[in-house]
Structure 1
Amino acid sequence: MKGDCDVVNVPICFISNHEGFDGSIKNFTRDFVVTELDINGLLVTKPTAILDVFPRISNAISPCTGRNREPVPEFKSNSISATQDTDVPVDDKSRDVTSPSLDNFDLKVILGQLVSEELEQFVVTLKDESGLRGDEVEKLVNQDLSLGSFPDKHHRACVHRAVRHNFPFLMTVTIQPEIRVRGDPDYRELSRLVTEMEAEDFFRFINAKEQGSSYTFRPDHDKEHRTAVHHFLSRRFGKLVETKSFCEQGETAISVRLRERGRPKKRKAEDCKKEEVYTAFTLCKENLETLEAISYMAATLGVLPSDFTYCGIKDKRAITYQSMVVKKVSPQRLKEKTAEFEKRGMRLSHVRSVSEPLRLGQLQGNHFDLVVRDLRPHKASDTHPSGPDTPSHLAVLVQQAVENVKARGFVNYYGPQRFGTGQNVRSDQVGLALLKEDMVSAVHLFFTPEEGDDPQSRAKRHFLQTGDAKESLALMPLSKARERLMLRALHRYGTGADGCAQAWLSLPHGMRVFSLHAYCSRVWNEAVAHRLSSLGHLVRQGDLVWVQDHQGGTVDSNLPQIHVVTSEEEKDGVYTLEQVVLPMPGNTVRYPGNAMGTWYKERLASDGLENCPFRVSALKLNLPGCYRPLLACPRNLTYRLQGPTTGDGGREGGAASYSGEAKSEEKPNCTSSKMKQDADSLTLTLNFDLESSCYATVCLREIMKCDP
Structure 2
Amino acid sequence: MMADQPHYVTRGSASHSQLIGITQRATPLTVVWTGEQRVRFSDFQVNEIAKDGNVVRLRSIGMNDEPTSQQPLQEKTEQISEDKAPKVEASNEIQTPEAIPAEQKMEISPEEFAALASLVNEKFAQDLVKLFNGDEDAGGQKVTSVSSGPLEDKSKRGQIHGEVRRIFKSRLETSTDDTGAITATKVPLRKGKKRNRGGRGQPDDKPTGEYLHFTLYKDNRDTMDAVNQIARMLRIKPQSIGYAGTKDRRASTAQRCSVRYMRQRALAGTNSKLWGIATGDYEYRDDPIHLGQLLGNEFVITLKNCKVVGESTDTPISTRLETMRTQVQAALDHMAQHGWINYFGHQRFGTYDIGTHQIGKLILGNKWEEAVKALLSYDPEIAAKAAAGEIPSEAMKRDEYARHHACMLFLTGKDVGKAARIMPGRYTAESCILRHLTRMGTGSLKDYAGALTHITRGLRSMYLHAYQSHVWNHVASRRWELHGDKVIAGDLVISDTDDAAPPTAEKDQDGDEIVNPGDEADDDAIRARPLTDEEAASGRFTIHDVVLPSPGYDVRYPDNDIGRFYEEFMGREENGALDPHTMRRLRREFSLPGRYRKLMHRFLATPSLEMRLYSDDTEQMHPTDLDIIKSAGSDAARGGKRRRDGPDDEGANKRTKTEGGGEDISHAEANGNADAEPPAAQDSAAEPDKIAAVVKFQLGSSAYATVTLRELMGDPPEQAPSDKPAKGTTDDAAT
Q: Normalized against structure 2, the TM-score is what?
A: 0.59
Partners of 2:151 and 2:179 within 8 A in 1: no
Match of 1:449 in 2: 378
* Percent of aligned pairs with the same amino acid: 26
Contact 1:277 1:327 in 2 (8 A): yes
Q: CA deviation at 1:389?
A: 6.5
- In structure 1, distance between residues paired with 2:453 and 2:28: 47
Return the match for 2:689 from 680, 683, 699.
680
Partner of 2:610: 641
- Show the counterpart of 1:34: 46
Does 1:431 pair with 2:443? no
- Which residue of 75, 81, 103 corresponds with 2:117? 103
Partner deviation per Cα, 1:159-197 (whole Å, 9 max, x = no partner): xxxxx99xx99735379999xxxxxxxxxxxxxxxxxxx
2:183 aligned residue (257, 260, 264)? 264
- The match for 1:543 is 491
Matches within 5 A, 1:588-627: 588-606=554-572, 607-610=576-579, 614=583, 618=587, 620=589, 622-627=591-596
- Classify the secondary structure of the residue corresponding to 1:11: coil
Name the SS of the counterpart of 2:534 in structure 1.
helix
Q: 1:582: which partner in 2?
A: 548
1:564 aligns with 2:530: yes
Q: Match of 2:116, as an amino acid?
A: L
- Structure 2 CA distance for partners of 1:622 and 1:280, relative to 1, 3 Å: farther
Partner of 2:437: 490
Contact 2:490 2:530 in 1 (8 A): yes
Q: 1:348 aligns with which of 279, 285, 289?
A: 279
Cα pair distance change 1:3/1:638, threshold 3 Å: closer
Work out the CA distance in 1 between the residues paired with 2:259 and 2:591: 25
Question: In 1, are the aligned partners of 2:40 and 2:620 still within 8 Å (CA)?
Answer: no
Q: Distance in 2 between matches of 1:79 and 1:426?
A: 53
Structure 1 position 432, deviation (Å): 2.0
Deviations 1:567-598 (A, max 9, x none): 12223333211111111222211111111111
Q: CA deviation at 1:14?
A: 0.5
Q: Which amino acid aligns with 2:492?
A: L
In the TM superposition, what whole-angstrom CA distance separates every residue of 1:118-174 from its partner, at most 9, and x where no partner exists? xxxxxxxxxxxxxxxxxxxxxxxxxxxxxxxxxxxxxxxxxxxxxx99xx9973537
The answer to whether the aligner puts 1:8 opposite 2:19 as a matched pair is yes
Residues in 1 aligned to 2:210 and 2:440: alpha-carbon distance in whole angstroms: 33
1:400 aligns with 2:330: yes
Q: After superposition, where does 1:212-361 map in structure 2 within 5 Å?
A: 239-240=178-179, 263-265=182-184, 278-295=211-228, 304-326=237-259, 333-342=266-275, 345-351=276-282, 353-361=284-292
Displacement of 1:697: 1.1
1:545-573 deviations in whole A, cap 9, x for unaligned? 235699xxxxx996675231111222333
Judging changes above 3 Å, is the alpha-carbon distance between structure 1 residues 612 and 560 closer, same or farther for their aligned structure 2 residues?
closer
Please state how far the C-alpha of 1:533 moved relative to its aligned partner. 1.0
Aligned mates of 1:462, 1:34 — CA distance in 2? 40
Where 1:264 maps in the other structure, the secondary structure is strand
- Provide the residue aligned with 2:81 in structure 1: none
Are the counterparts in 1 of residues 618 and 678 from structure 2 also a CA contact under 8 Å? no
- Match of 1:522, as an amino acid? H
Q: 2:478 aligns with which of 514, 527, 530?
A: 530
Note if contact 2:436-2:454 (Cα within 8 Å) is conserved in structure 1: yes
Deviation at 1:333, TM superposition (A): 4.9
- Cα shift readout 1:23-74 (whole Å, capped 9, x = no counterpart): 22222211111111111111222569x99xxxxxxxxxxxxxxxxxxxxxxx
Helix, strand or coil: the match of 1:538? coil
Specify the alignment match of 2:346 in structure 1: 416
* Residues 386-412 of structure 1 deviation map (CA, whole Å, 9 limit, x = unaligned): x99632222221221221212211211
Partner SS, residue 470 of structure 1: helix
8 A contact 2:610–2:694 mirrored in 1 = yes
Q: Judge conservation of contact 1:15–1:410 (CA < 8 Å) in 2.
A: yes
The answer for unaligned runs of 5 or more in structure 2 is: 1-12, 68-107, 122-147, 161-175, 188-206, 383-400, 499-503, 505-522, 629-646, 650-674, 717-730
1:420-464 deviation line (CA, Å, top 9, x unaligned): 221x11111222223234443322211212475233322322222
8 A contact 1:545–1:562 mirrored in 2: yes
Deviation by residue 1:285-311 (Cα, 9 ceiling, x = unmatched) = 333333444455556666555444322
* Distance in 1 between residues matched to 2:265 and 2:455, nearest whole Å: 28
* In 1, Cα distance between equivalents of 2:590 and 2:687: 48
Take 2:451 and 2:236, find their aligned partners in 1: how far apart are those partners? 19
Q: Secondary structure at the match of 1:102?
A: helix
Distance 1:501 1:549, change over 3 A: closer
**Separation (CA, whole Å) in 1 of partners of 2:248 and 2:372:** 25
Q: 2:223–2:246: 8 Å Cα contact kept in structure 1?
A: yes
Structure 2 partner of 1:18: 29
CA separation in 2, counterparts of 1:47 and 1:391?
A: 35
Return closer, same or farther for 1:278/1:591 CA change in 2, 3 Å cut-off. same
Following superposition, the deviation at residue 652 of structure 1 comes to 8.8
Q: 1:323 to 1:506 in 2, by over 3 A?
A: farther
In 1, the alpha carbon distance for the partners of 2:230 and 2:377 equals 26
Q: Structure 1: how far apart are the matches of 2:250 and 2:714?
A: 21
Query: Which of the numbers 610, 614, 624 marks the counterpart of 1:658?
Result: 624
User: Are residues 566 and 393 of structure 1, via their aligned partners in 2, closer, same or farther at CA, if it must alter by over 3 Å?
Assistant: same
- Larger mean CA deviation between 537-546 and 390-399 belongs to 390-399
CA distance in 1, matches of 2:158, 2:300: 38
Task: Give structure 1 stretches of 5+ with no counterpart.
Answer: 52-76, 81-97, 108-163, 179-236, 242-261, 269-273, 382-386, 551-555
Question: Contact 2:336/2:607 (CA < 8 Å) preserved in 1?
Answer: no
The number of residues matched between the two structures is 506
Shift of 1:651: 11
Contact 1:431 1:519 in 2 (8 A): yes
Q: Distance in 2 between matches of 1:339 and 1:488?
A: 37
| CA pair 498-101 structure 1, distance change in 2 beyond 3 A | farther
- With CA pairs under 8 Å and 6+ residues apart, which has the higher RCO, 1 or 2? 2
Structure 1 residue identity aligned to 2:291: L
Report the CA distance between 1:501 and its aligned residue: 4.5
TM-score scaled to structure 1, two decimals?
0.61
Alpha-carbon deviations, 1:211-264, whole Å to 9, x = none?
Answer: xxxxxxxxxxxxxxxxxxxxxxxxxx97459xxxxxxxxxxxxxxxxxxxx742
State the superposition RMSD in angstroms.
4.7
Alignment partner, residue 130 of structure 1: none
1:457–1:350 Cα change, 3 Å: farther
Name 1:374's counterpart in structure 2. Answer: 305
Alpha-carbon deviations, 1:615-642, whole Å to 9, x = none? 5665746532211111111132343434
The residue type paired with residue 246 of structure 2 is I
Decide whether aligned partners of structure 1 residues 398 and 418 sit closer, same or farther in structure 2, where only a CA change above 3 A counts.
Answer: same
Contact conserved, 1:369 with 1:685, CA < 8 A, in 2?
yes
In 2, Cα distance between the equivalents of 1:442 and 1:33?
36
**Counterpart of 2:183 in 1: which secondary structure?**
coil
Partner Cα distance (1:304, 1:487) in 2: 23
- In the superposition, relative to structure 1, how do residues 297 and 9 fare at CA in structure 2: closer, same or farther (>3 Å)? farther
Aligned partner of residue 306 in structure 2, secondary structure:
strand
Structure 2 CA distance for partners of 1:357 and 1:509, relative to 1, 3 Å:
farther
Contact 1:430 1:515 in 2 (8 A): yes
- Structure 1 residue aligned with 2:295, among 353, 364, 378? 364
Instruction: Report what 1:462 is aligned to.
Output: 409
Rounded Cα–Cα distance in structure 2 between residues aligned with 1:560 and 1:476: 41
